[in-house]
Amino acid sequence: MTGLPRSRRRDLLRGGVLVTFGAGLGVVGFAEAADVVDRKLPLRGGAASAVVPGRPDLLGNGRLEANWFVPTGRRIVALTFDDGPGPDWTPMVLDTLHQRGVPATFFMVGERARRHGELLRGRLAGHEVGSHSWAHHDLARLPVEEAYEDLARTHRELVAVTGQEPRLLRPPYGHLAGSTLAAAVRMGYQLVLWSQQMREADFPDDPAGQARRIVADVHPGAIILAHDVGRRERLVSLHALPEIIDQLRARGYEFATVSQLLAVRR
Ligand SMILES: [Zn+2]
């Protein structure tokens, strides 16, 4: 790279860091990484703060909470389902939850809610709807205005389709960075990650094994991640759901939406 004109070199460095931040830094090397730092990372997107100078009004109340679980001694957990709604599995998940009287939280993708909203009609009583972005793009890699527009559009769609005002955001890929955070605080959202997740790869076609694992690892206040859309392998978790619910109940666990769980802390 040293043989390149300085301006061209700067473009390459900027492109490399923008496109492959994280993995890319190791490739750039120390001296060049320092060069990048000197030149400043983009303030309004990606890894930078994404704060728009002089516009504190774009930062909601100036405070954002991220929740992986809720510290409590009470045996209570929140089941969460990401990436839906979808025609293949979402109705089955809703059936299982309905049969057992279990509330859950669905982190929905806006454009899927628009396409498959009829699956949800009359079926969300007792459940919570959160945002999982419009099309599952990594908000952390978008300029902050685009990240905000993505969330605002998703919010409008979810209100129209579900009748609920989302208060929670689970960022795609769980990626937290400048644009994600700035857009979320502007929306007045709380961030929700997870402390436990389904392990489809460990239990191919073994719902009983999947259920045992979740039940063995559970802890009071857990937020448990599952998906109601995706690769076929994920089905094992949804088939394990009845057993997971029954076994957790047998151990004295109650189920709550994420917002109900968060209220336990306060
Ligand atoms: Zn997702």
pLDDT at 77: 98
Domain-wise residue ranges, the chain: 6-59, 66-265
Residue in 127, 132, 155, 227 annotated catalytic: 227
Q: What is the 194 CA–ligand 1 centroid distance (Å)?
A: 12
Ligand 1 center–CA 171 separation, angstroms: 8
Catalytic residue among 82, 83, 150, 228: 82
Is 82 a catalytic site residue?
Answer: yes
Report the pLDDT value the prediction gives residue 54, as an integer from 0 to 100: 87
Burial class (CB in 10 A: 0-12, 13-18, 19+), 147: buried
Distance of CA 242 from the midpoint of ligand 1 (Å): 22
| CATH class of the 66-265 domain in this structure | alpha beta
Query: Low-confidence residues of the chain, pLDDT below 50?
Result: 1-41
Alpha-carbon distance 123 to 121, whole Å?
A: 5
Tell me, yes or no, if 127 is annotated catalytic. Answer: no
What's the chain's Rg over C-alpha atoms? 21
Check: CB of residue 129 under 8 Å from CB of residue 108.
Answer: yes
User: How many angstroms separate the alpha carbon of residue 196 from the centre of ligand 1?
Assistant: 15
